[in-house]
Amino acid sequence: MRKAEIIMAFVLGLFSLGLMWKSGEPPSWNPDIPRFANIGFIEGEGPGSGFWPFWLSLIMLLCCVWIGINWFNRRSPPSRSEEPFLDGYGIRMFVVVGGGLLGFLILIPILGYYGAIPLFLIYYIRFLGKHSWTATLSISIGIPVFSFFFFDIAMRIVLPKGYLEPLFIPLYDIFL
């Protein structure tokens, strides 16, 4: 955990520096303006477009230095902790659940929400949660059916359906 604390502070510090650099960017239609010309007060216009994000990013950078000092002095709980950042269970959980979510995201453009939701729920409830098929199927079918009537029919928010779109046309004819 101690090592992770300083690595994270370093990464966030770099990120803050990147944001400072990016805040000073001139607009693409006028590349003659020098970088960082927009972070101060512009006569007649007030503070430039980079003013607010630049100085806030600087504060972020200073906070990362502050976190670093606290780490050195062992003043924050993670900098004192001897526990691992993620133990074996944590890594396994992260891979299994995160992988499931990633699969869900990949399936959305192909099968749409109403195809991806049941597959994700079956994966999680049946294979990770080890629940009965009755519980698994009733939830895996119930949630997309409820979502369809709530979002597509009642709220008129049409969720993407991917290649399954033709299957829904008869339903639209009935309910819309």
Q: Which of residues 92-151 bind another protein (CB under 8 A)?
A: 93-94, 97-98, 100-102, 104-105, 108-109, 113, 117, 120-121, 124-125, 128-131, 135, 139, 143, 147, 150-151
Nearest to another protein of 129, 163 (CB atom): 129
Q: Which long-range contacts (CB under 8 A, 24 or more apart) does 145-152 make?
A: 147/113, 147/114, 147/117, 148/114, 149/175
User: Contact with another protein (CB under 8 A): which of 85, 103, 153, 168?
Assistant: 85
Q: Convert residues 4-23 into a mask of x (bound to another protein by CB under 8 A) and - (unbound).
A: xx--x---x------x--xx
Q: How many whole angstroms separate alpha carbon 146 and alpha carbon 17? A: 46
User: Contact with another protein (CB under 8 A): which of 32, 34, 73, 173?
Assistant: 73
> In a 3-state reduction of DSSP, which class is residue 45?
coil
Q: How far is the CB of 57 from another protein (least distance, A)?
A: 6
Between the alpha carbon of residue 134 and those of residues 130, 138, 139, 163, the distances in Å are 12, 6, 9, 27
* Alpha helices in 37-122, H assignment, sequence order: 51-72, 77-80, 88-121
User: Contact with another protein (CB under 8 A): which of 17, 35, 36, 56?
Assistant: 56
Backbone dihedral angles phi then psi of residue 42, each to the nearest 5 degrees: -100, 125
Site size toward another protein (CB under 8 A) is: 73
Contact between 67 and 5 (Cβ < 8 Å): yes
Q: How far is the CB of 49 from another protein (least distance, A)?
A: 4
- 166 binds another protein, rule: CB under 8 A: no
User: Contact with another protein (CB under 8 A): which of 3, 10, 41, 172?
Assistant: 41
User: Contact with another protein (CB under 8 A): which of 17, 78, 164, 168?
Assistant: 78
172: left (phi over 0), alpha (psi -120 to 50) or beta: alpha
